[in-house]
Amino acid sequence: MASIDDVARLAGVSTATVSRALSGRGKVSDATRERVLSAADSLGYVVSSRASSLASGRTRTVGVIVPYLDRWFFSTVLSGVSSALMRAGFDITLYNITTDRETRKHVFDTFLRRQGVDAVIAVSIRFEDDEIRQLSGLGLPIIAIGGPHPSLDTLTVDELGIARLATEHLIGLGHRHIAYIGAGPEFDEGFHVPTNRRLGFEKALSDAGIPVDPSLVVAADFTIAGGVRAATQLLTGSGARPTAVFAASDEMAIGAILAAREQGLRVPDDLSVIGIDGHELGAIFDLTTVDQFPLQQGERAAAAVLARLGEGEVPAAELPFVLTERGSTAAV
């Protein structure tokens, strides 16, 4: 197996220069860096993470804490984090915060300290006060997605603004009988995402002089199946049928489209449907949505961590969103 000394001899430089060239830290001319990279490649030399850690005091590993692994949004954010960190030469260690209190306690009491990560990214996690103290006690950069987290650097999305934009799109098309498929408080994760999206929906209606009909507000669970059940309830109830449905996630919106088809309704002729997220299935279902770019959210969180570690520019704290109009919404 090739060593750093072998690379140095082949490139005609010192081992210190090889180290600087391969780590990206320190001044090395472009020509010398190319020569070192070429020598390392021809010899099949790979930098030892253990040796690099000893030399730099860093593990080049970032701990990522998520509440779910089986939900599209979280897996997509995680993909963005992972790809951005890998491009920068960092590994990730994943921690899934479950509802089990003992497991959660072990993450903060033991795992984060034992793994020796350089930084932490938390995706839509509500931290208890003692958990904040434990994280702060690590002395590491901590970036949170979702919030607000008053004591942490946080990347946030304007959830009220997202919901207002979606609702105002339907109002602008002439809809006045608009249903809302949201979620119960158990899905708030401490940041009140479902609550804020419902408030944005209600505020948009109020500003347009449209009263909120409680019978047109139904909770689901952010899944396609949950969207089917909620939309079926709305479309088969005893009250007047809505002309439009705003679902607080694309998966629930897709469920609403499927439920409408089961009831013999045409989308958007008989029922307009809009969602939130930017789900990859949205284009297949021709779904109008407010895209909140979850992949880019992960990439931006990684960029924020790298900036705190001195390896990049600090990104904007407010995350973007945009209305993507497709064929699932139309004028009344």
Range list of β-strands (E), the chain: 61-66, 91-96, 119-123, 142-145, 153-155, 178-183, 217-220, 244-247, 272-277, 288-291, 322-324
Whole-number pLDDT of residue 288: 98
**Does residue 84 share a domain with residue 44?**
no
Residue 2 has pLDDT above 90, yes or no: no
What is the DSSP annotation of 105-154?
HHIIIIIHHHHT-SEEEEES----HHHHHHHHHTT--EEEESS--TTSEE
Pairing of strands 91-96, 142-145: unpaired
Whole-number pLDDT of residue 68: 82
**Residue 58's pLDDT band (boundaries 50, 70, 90)?**
low
pLDDT tens-place string over residues 195-208: 889 999 999 999 99
pLDDT tens-place string over residues 242-261: 999 999 999 999 999 999 99
List the single range of 148-152, 193-197, 290-294, 324-328 with lowest mean pLDDT: 148-152
Whole-number pLDDT of residue 47: 62
* 220 occurs within a structural domain: yes
pLDDT tens-place string over residues 106-140: 777 777 766 678 899 988 887 777 888 888 777 88
**Does residue 163 share a domain with residue 153?**
no
* Averaged pLDDT for residues 70-88: 91
* 14 occurs within a structural domain: yes
Residues β-bridged to residue 323: 290
3 state DSSP class of 269: coil
Residue 141 has pLDDT above 60, yes or no: yes
**Does residue 287 share a domain with residue 164?**
yes
Pairing of strands 61-66, 178-183: unpaired
**Residue 56's pLDDT band (boundaries 50, 70, 90)?**
very low
User: In CATH, what number is assigned to the domain containing residue 26?
Assistant: 1.10.260.40
Percent of the chain surpassing pLDDT 70: 90
Q: Give the C-alpha separation, 245 to 330, whole Å.
A: 12
**Does residue 165 share a domain with residue 282?**
yes
**Does residue 151 share a domain with residue 121?**
yes
pLDDT tens-place string over residues 222-240: 899 999 999 999 999 887 8
Residue 290 near residue 276, CB atoms below 8 Å: yes
**Residue 264's pLDDT band (boundaries 50, 70, 90)?**
very high
* Averaged pLDDT for residues 173-185: 91
**Does residue 278 share a domain with residue 191?**
yes
How distant, in Å, are the alpha carbons of 198, 200, 202 from that of 205?
11, 9, 5
Whole-number pLDDT of residue 57: 52
The count of structural domains within the chain is 3
* 317 occurs within a structural domain: no
Which residue is it, tokens 């098309």?
173
Which residue is it, tokens 């979620």?
183
Structural domain of 281: 159-291
Residue type, 331: A
Residue 70 has pLDDT above 80, yes or no: yes
Whole-number pLDDT of residue 186: 63
* 16 occurs within a structural domain: yes
Which residue is it, tokens 């990279």?
37
**Does residue 111 share a domain with residue 83?**
yes
**Does residue 168 share a domain with residue 105?**
no
Highest-confidence segment of 2-16, 122-136, 207-221: 207-221
* 318 occurs within a structural domain: no
* 322 occurs within a structural domain: no
What is the overall mean pLDDT for the chain? 87
**Does residue 203 share a domain with residue 116?**
no
Q: What distance lies between CA 213 and its chain's CA centroid?
A: 32
3 state DSSP class of 271: coil
**Residue 55's pLDDT band (boundaries 50, 70, 90)?**
very low
* 32 occurs within a structural domain: yes
Whole-number pLDDT of residue 50: 47
* 108 occurs within a structural domain: yes
How far the first Cα of the chain sits from its last, in Å, is 70
Q: Give the C-alpha separation, 228 to 249, whole Å.
A: 13
**Residue 189's pLDDT band (boundaries 50, 70, 90)?**
low
User: In CATH, what number is assigned to the domain containing residue 112?
Assistant: 3.40.50.2300
**Does residue 68 share a domain with residue 21?**
no
